[in-house]
Structure 1
Amino acid sequence: MRLFSRFVCLLLLLLPAAAVHAQKGPFALKTLKLPAELTERSQQFSGLCLRGSQLLLLGESRLQERMEPKVYALDLPSVDAQLAGKPGELTYKKYRIQGLEGIRARIDSLCQVYEGLEGLTLVGDEAYMSIETTTPSAYCYLIRGTFHDATATITLDAKYLVPLPKPALLNGTHVHNAGFESLTNYHQRLLALFEYNYFPQDNYAYELPTTAGAELPRFVPVDRLPFRVTDMVYEGENRFTAINYFFRGDEDAVYRPAPTDPNARFIQDGAGFKNYCRLIRISYKGKKVSWKPLYELPAEYMTYNWEGLAAYHGGYFLINDKYGPSNQSTLLYLQKTK
């Protein structure tokens, strides 16, 4: 009997360790060392996208701050080498965006105010990008351009400027600093998801064809989704993955669920609030968008303002704009564990 009691005690001691092991996340997190030019805070990266053997990094291209409009392209072989622990720097190419000043002038003529580029996706060699405007502006915009590798340029189509009406709060005002940050290619169509999707009334995304002359967006209902959605990537079979992020600052108070809301527990920190970030799985079936949690980032990565997402080899690249403990651009890879 005494031997049996000792056996039971041993099992009880081992259970917590087993539980901790069972809670191990599905990803190993690795930070890549970016070239110095790409770590500069002024880049303010806002989107990621794969293009062949390149990982594209979209900067906000804040023309009002005299930033050069461009997209960086990291060579994936050099990324793979760094992930494998091999010596050597990441190699990259810079594509200059031609024609953005003209697009901005058109937006200004419509009494809207350009703020920056936010979302990026590809359909063949055509790049589609979403433009965020200032909070009082009623519309965000969709633009497109063509990659030219020989000249390292992206030439914008001056005739393509699709307005995306911003959803409004019940009092008719717009959500502070919110735009269509999530943009992805879906069966040769585009799906654009607004940053704020917790309206008490209807929430919806826009679906747009990419064929010429058919730019009218179609409304797609979205299940209520707390916090911000800052980027999204299509992974096949009507499945998407997105960044679901909350910033604790007062300027993001509109993203705070009511204290009685079940989602409030993720962001509460005593009497105050804390940053929170997770990946979510999005499904587009039955002509509507639904979601479920996928992976919660470790605490040390919660304070980065993650703005870009790309799926790669069963894992994900994440990049922040400039906000976070590193005080610069940080490229993170979530490597799928076996």
Structure 2
Amino acid sequence: MVRAPGSASRRDRSVAAHRCRTLVRRHAVCQTGPVTTSKSESGSYVEPGEFKRDTNYIEDRVTADGRDGYPVQPGRYRLVAARACPWANRTLIARRLLGLEPVLSLGLCGPTHDKRSWTFDLDPGGVDPVLGIHFLADAYFKRFPDYPRGITVPALVDERTGQVVTNDYAQMTLDFSTEWTEYHRPGAPKLYPEDLRGEIDSVNRRVFTEVNNGVYRCGFAGSQDAYDAAYDRLFTALDWLSDRLSTQRYLVGDTITEADLRLFTTLARFDPVYHGHFKCNRDKLSELPVLWAYARDLYQTPGFGDTIDFTQIKEHYYIVHTDINPTRIVPKGPDLANWLSPHGREALGGRPFGDGTPPPPPVSAERVPEGHAPA
């Protein structure tokens, strides 16, 4: 049964139950803090001991049958993302590969924010032209007036009501693959094929804990012991991935899958940010031959590199994390031209899109600005 819009969902009740509790931690790179601070204040990311990510998100889903009250409908939802954020970057890639642009609109926040919220400062007047808001927080508070958690991207917003539907980034891309199939473009790849889901899920769990989140455990560690342990875990996992990818072109099977999307967005940020800013400095990505070639292979694949804005990525991390980089100086390097150098991964076989085809170029309004990526 489809729940009527505006009626209480299980997640509505769950969030309401949290409203009177102490505000939870907001220390994750694609989250922002409470609205009760001045605009000049940035969030605090480093705290004593080991960094622990808050993984509680709005669990409602946009599905084909609309079981949570949000059926898949073209033109109803707006994906709010930020090119700077690796978790949001996944949704940009999936939307491109599956060809959902005509049915799912896109709102892009700027690369920096304060503790209040991500903002639409890239748009004229700093206002999203569809939602009519400056702060993404407004879409959260319109549904949950006392929303107690961090304001995160990516988020799906119902254009009819202006209310956030979900910010569950991990489920979001899986649903793009499995619930939005009626609107996939001809030739869309199978990013989450049924026969490989068990292996994809297993790889994704290790990549999330040890790599996607592992770089943050290094960067936001509040003690030497916590940092040392996080560092060792990260590079153990990167060595495992190098071994795995030395004999196969993609992480699971012989085509691009959800697993590749999740690893790629971390690798793309490794040398520009994580190596120096987060002290993940045993090796640069460009010094790890297998992973470096794998990352370049994906970067040069339509739908991947054309979503990467290296300028915004560096601005976000180096400007927002003032407790790590109090001067807010953004480094000029590294040289990014080598992302376009030959990778040689074709020798391992595999077909990027399986029986499908590459996506067409991005629409002009969604292209990464000139100069923000290697030409």
TM range (shorter): under 0.3
> Based on CA coordinates, which of the two structures has the bigger radius of gyration?
1
What is the TM-score normalised by the length of structure 1?
A: 0.26
Query: Which structure shows the bigger proportion of residues in strand conformation?
Result: 1
Give the TM-score normalised by the residue count of structure 2. Answer: 0.24
